[in-house]
């Protein structure tokens, strides 16, 4: 295996695992509420900049800086639910979707006013350390991103499929009215869903900051690729988000290296369109009719 | 009851919106008629271009205040009305139309981005209002629009400078080119390719990336594998900084000649000094205090007022505002006369450059080349390359 290939695969996995985290945030909200949250990219931006505030501007050690930023993102999720989703939840889905687009624009401009237009370079827990693996120079932070992302995804999987609260969340996702009749507090499950979305996007923002710098426009391209990832993996599937994210990340890197850097984004979106045409439920997703 | 209240609220909101819009239009029209000469400025205040947009905005604010402190223009106060053009061509066109409709200005400062100016160009032709712009794309001056004047070096000149410095300046023979895939990077890469080959060197690879990309390691790896002994990097600020960071992480230790967006303070501050160690770059201008007391005063005033260092991208608008003052003082707010005066500008000394208009409407004809002082982020002037 060539050094180049190792480097590209690690870069692709790092990028792909971030797409997977963001894709999961899309899926969590969509499954629970039936809404695609088009402010997901801006939530990544806010997560990254909260870590800029705690880790760079307040100069806290990185561990507490990250915890504080994540806690703030959990609150952000609650605020998003209370201010945006709850008032709109009984409106047509299109209204809610447009609401998330609008709030995304508001968040982005609020970030611009708060943090300014000049990008920041957040610190990494590993500094600029590079690890030599079979002659390939691998960024320690990229490896950290992969490990943390998959750890978070694993914990989320356990939470959803191995805990009572997770079962309640799934019940709400399957049939909101039936869940309510079973005594489940649907509103609490919604709040929890938005908290998880805040944590996932916040973690994604914290992880990508040291790799890609923090700037107020960083969220949309990430969300767009994550969206492609969940189309490919399956819109309602946790494994689908992981596989889709990794596939998109690897396709970007390997496509640019071995096919054409000019058309690498085109390749990703071509694959997405092919899935929409041939297998719209994605690799792991279930057909809408099968969910009933 | 509920519907009545809802109707009332809607009416109130609509009324407030109409009132706000009315006040805005009324106040702008009033200002254009009452002892002020109002001109428009299309600035990317928000969106991905806001780093340079902020500099552009600040430079014009400063110029406006200084010009008014010195008596204004043609005996009246200069008022610059700013419109946010974000990163969208349609927003830029609409902003331009709004300014033309509401202000009927004698002059407009256009956007600092070529695609927006290309989209606006037909409207400029219709409106016949002279304007200056900072976007570098050659496609614009090739249109030879008699109402449009460029106040910074065109991209073809930048590509020439990058390629000349890599080959003649550094003596490199195997050049790899990495470029942002848009109207700035792609023509720049093609021009650089021609100049490199004309200099007897070889282009071992040309790799593109999208403006929104955050990882260019695959492209850099390909260029390394192709045997590049020097990279020409045609990029903006943040993406260029990312490329330099990645080169260090990937242990690719070859000199890089990089475009002007990366050499501005906001971008250089993102890059660690050791990542800049083998970097040479071009800048629109040598904006340093040692160039003279006027430049030193400009830099100090800008830093004191806005708490950031000025960069050449925005500062060229400061110079353009002073060219405008000189023009308005001479011919007043007559559009055709202003256009003819701008066509005849020769040797105007600004803080960024000397301005002389050529047949294509280009007013700046040289670039400065810099290296980086070892262990710092400070540029060291090497030479000037002229067209």
**Per-residue model confidence as pLDDT tens for chain B (387 residues):** 334 444 444 544 444 444 444 444 444 443 455 789 999 999 998 877 777 889 999 999 999 999 999 999 999 999 999 999 988 899 999 999 999 999 999 999 999 988 899 999 999 999 999 999 998 888 899 999 999 999 999 999 999 999 999 999 999 999 999 999 988 899 899 999 999 999 999 999 999 998 888 889 989 999 999 999 999 999 988 999 999 999 999 989 999 999 998 998 889 999 999 999 999 999 998 888 888 999 999 999 999 999 999 999 899 999 999 999 999 999 999 999 999 999 999 999 999 999 999 999 999 999 999 999 999 999 999 999 988
pLDDT of residue B224: 93
Of A15, A119, A221, which is closest to B212 when you measure between CB atoms? A221
State which residue of chain B sits closest to A208, comparing Cα positions. B214
Q: Are residues B168 and B190 in the same domain?
A: yes
Pull the structure tokens for residue A227.
């969206």
pLDDT one-digit tens code per residue, B213-246: 888 998 999 999 999 999 999 998 899 999 999 9
Helices (H), chain B: 2-33, 50-69, 89-103, 114-127, 138-141, 155-164, 185-198, 217-225, 237-249, 260-263, 265-268, 293-306, 312-331, 335-343
Query: How are the residues of chain B apportioned to helix, strand and coil, as percentages rounded to the nearest 5?
Result: 50, 20, 30
- Structural domain contains residue B80: yes
Count other C-beta atoms under 10 Å from residue B120's C-beta: 27
Which segment of A61-70, A126-135, B138-147, B155-164 scores lowest on mean pLDDT?
A126-135
Dist. CA A279–CA A277, nearest whole Å? 6
Q: Are residues B266 and B379 in the same domain?
A: yes
Q: Are residues B106 and B170 in the same domain?
A: no
Q: Are residues B165 and B249 in the same domain?
A: yes
- Structural domain contains residue B372: yes
Q: Count of domains in chain A?
A: 1
- Structural domain contains residue B141: yes
Dist. CA B32–CA B78, nearest whole Å? 10
State which residue of chain A sits closest to B308, comparing Cα positions. A118
Chain B nearest C-alpha distance from A111 (Å): 11
CATH number, position B142: 3.40.50.2300
Q: Are residues B170 and B220 in the same domain?
A: yes
Per-residue pLDDT for A239 more than 70?
Answer: yes
Of A4, A112, A216, which is closest to B221 when you measure between CB atoms? A4
Q: Are residues B148 and B264 in the same domain?
A: no
- Give the A:B interface size as CB pairs under 8 Å: 93
Chain B nearest C-alpha distance from A251 (Å): 11
- Structural domain contains residue B27: no
Q: Count of domains in chain B?
A: 2
Q: Please, which pLDDT band fits residue A88 given cuts at 50, 70 and 90?
A: confident
Q: Are residues B170 and B274 in the same domain?
A: yes
Residue A119 structural domain: 3-291
Count other C-beta atoms under 10 Å from residue B321's C-beta: 27
Distances (CA, A) of A101 to A13, A86, A259: 29, 15, 34
Of B54, B181, B225, which is closest to A117 when you measure between CB atoms? B54
Q: Please, which pLDDT band fits residue A52 given cuts at 50, 70 and 90?
A: very high
CATH number, position A245: 1.10.3470
The ipTM is 0.84
Residue B243 structural domain: 155-283+368-386
Tell me if A8 and B249 make a contact (CB, 8 A cut-off).
no
> Mean pLDDT, to the nearest integer, of A33-54?
94
Distances (CA, A) of B39 to A160, B1, B53, B61, B88: 59, 49, 17, 12, 21
Q: Are residues B255 and B319 in the same domain?
A: no
Interface residue of B49, B217, B271 to substitute, partner A, most A CBs within 10 Å = B217
Average pLDDT over chain A, rounded to an integer: 90
Q: Are residues B160 and B93 in the same domain?
A: no
pLDDT one-digit tens code per residue, A173-202: 888 899 999 999 999 999 999 999 999 999
pLDDT of residue B32: 52
Q: Are residues B249 and B375 in the same domain?
A: yes
- Structural domain contains residue B19: no
* Of the candidates A32, A22, A25, A29, the residue with the CA atom closest to the CA atom of residue A170: A32
Q: Are residues B167 and B237 in the same domain?
A: yes
pLDDT of residue A1: 53
State which residue of chain A sits closest to B309, comparing Cα positions. A118
Q: Are residues B268 and B221 in the same domain?
A: yes
- Tell me which of A42 and B3 has the higher pLDDT: A42
- Structural domain contains residue B201: yes
- Structural domain contains residue B21: no
- Structural domain contains residue B126: yes
């Amino acid at each position: 295996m060539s050094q180049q290939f190792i480097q590209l695969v690690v870069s692709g996995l790092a990028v792909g695992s971030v797409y997977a985290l963001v894709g999961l945030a899309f899926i969590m909200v969509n499954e629970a509420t039936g809404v695609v949250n088009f402010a997901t990219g801006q939530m990544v931006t806010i997560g990254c900049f909260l870590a800029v505030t705690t880790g760079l501007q307040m100069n806290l050690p990185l561990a507490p800086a990250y915890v504080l930023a994540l806690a703030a993102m959990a609150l952000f999720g609650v605020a998003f639910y209370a201010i945006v989703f709850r008032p709109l939840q009984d409106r047509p889905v299109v209204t809610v979707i447009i609401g998330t687009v609008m709030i995304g624009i508001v968040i982005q401009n609020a970030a611009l006013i708060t943090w300014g237009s000049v990008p920041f370079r957040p610190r990494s827990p590993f500094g600029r350390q590079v690890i030599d693996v079979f002659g390939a120079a691998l960024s320690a932070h990229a490896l950290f991103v992969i490990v943390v992302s998959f750890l978070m995804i694993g914990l989320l999987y356990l939470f959803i499929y191995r805990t009572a609260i997770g079962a309640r969340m799934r019940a709400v996702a399957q049939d909101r009215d039936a869940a309510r009749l079973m005594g489940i507090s649907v509103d609490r499950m919604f709040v929890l869903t938005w908290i998880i979305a805040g944590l996932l996007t916040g973690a994604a923002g914290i992880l990508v900051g040291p790799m890609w710098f923090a700037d107020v426009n960083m969220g949309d391209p990430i969300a767009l690729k994550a969206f492609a990832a969940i189309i490919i993996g399956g819109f309602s599937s946790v494994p689908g988000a992981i596989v889709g994210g990794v596939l998109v990340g690897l396709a970007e890197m390997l496509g640019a290296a071995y096919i054409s850097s000019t058309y690498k984004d085109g390749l990703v979106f071509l694959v997405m369109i092919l899935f929409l045409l041939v297998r719209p439920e994605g690799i792991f997703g279930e057909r809408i009719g099968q969910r009933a | 009851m509920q519907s009545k209240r809802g109707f009332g609220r809607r009416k109130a909101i609509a009324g407030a919106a109409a009132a706000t819009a009315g006040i805005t239009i009324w106040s702008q029209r009033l200002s254009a008629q009452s002892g002020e000469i109002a001109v428009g400025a299309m600035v990317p205040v928000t969106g991905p271009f806001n780093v340079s947009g902020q500099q552009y905005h600040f430079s014009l604010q400063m110029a406006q205040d200084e010009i008014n402190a010195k008596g204004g223009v043609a005996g009246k106060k200069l008022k610059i009305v700013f419109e946010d053009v974000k990163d969208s061509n349609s927003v830029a066109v609409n902003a331009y139309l709004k300014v033309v409709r509401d202000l009927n200005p004698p002059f407009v400062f256009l956007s600092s981005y070529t695609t927006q100016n290309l989209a606006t160009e037909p409207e400029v032709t219709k409106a016949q209002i002279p304007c200056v712009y900072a976007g570098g794309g050659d496609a614009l001056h090739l249109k030879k629009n008699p109402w449009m004047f460029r106040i910074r070096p065109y991209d073809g000149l930048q590509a020439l400078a990058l390629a000349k410095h890599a080959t003649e300046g550094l003596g490199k023979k195997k050049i790899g080119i990495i470029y942002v895939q848009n109207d700035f990077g792609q023509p720049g890469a093609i021009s650089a390719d021609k100049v490199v080959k004309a200099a007897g060197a070889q282009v071992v690879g040309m790799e593109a990336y999208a403006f929104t990309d955050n990882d260019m390691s695959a492209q850099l790896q390909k260029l390394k594998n192709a045997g590049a002994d020097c990279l020409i990097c045609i990029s903006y600020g943040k993406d260029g900084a990312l490329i330099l960071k990645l080169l260090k992480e990937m242990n690719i230790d070859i000199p890089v000649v990089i475009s002007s967006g990366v050499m501005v303070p906001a971008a250089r501050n993102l890059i660690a000094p050791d990542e800049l160690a083998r970097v040479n770059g071009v800048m629109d201008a040598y904006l340093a205090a040692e160039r003279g007391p006027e430049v030193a005063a400009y830099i100090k005033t800008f830093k004191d007022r806005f708490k950031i260092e000025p960069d050449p991208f925005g500062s060229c608008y400061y110079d353009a505002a002073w060219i405008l003052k000189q023009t308005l003082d001479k011919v007043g707010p007559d559009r055709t006369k202003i256009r003819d005066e701008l066509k005849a500008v020769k040797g105007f000394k600004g803080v960024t450059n000397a301005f002389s208009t050529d047949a294509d409407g280009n007013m700046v004809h040289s670039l400065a080349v810099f290296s980086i002082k070892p262990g710092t982020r400070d540029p060291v002037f090497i030479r000037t390359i002229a067209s």
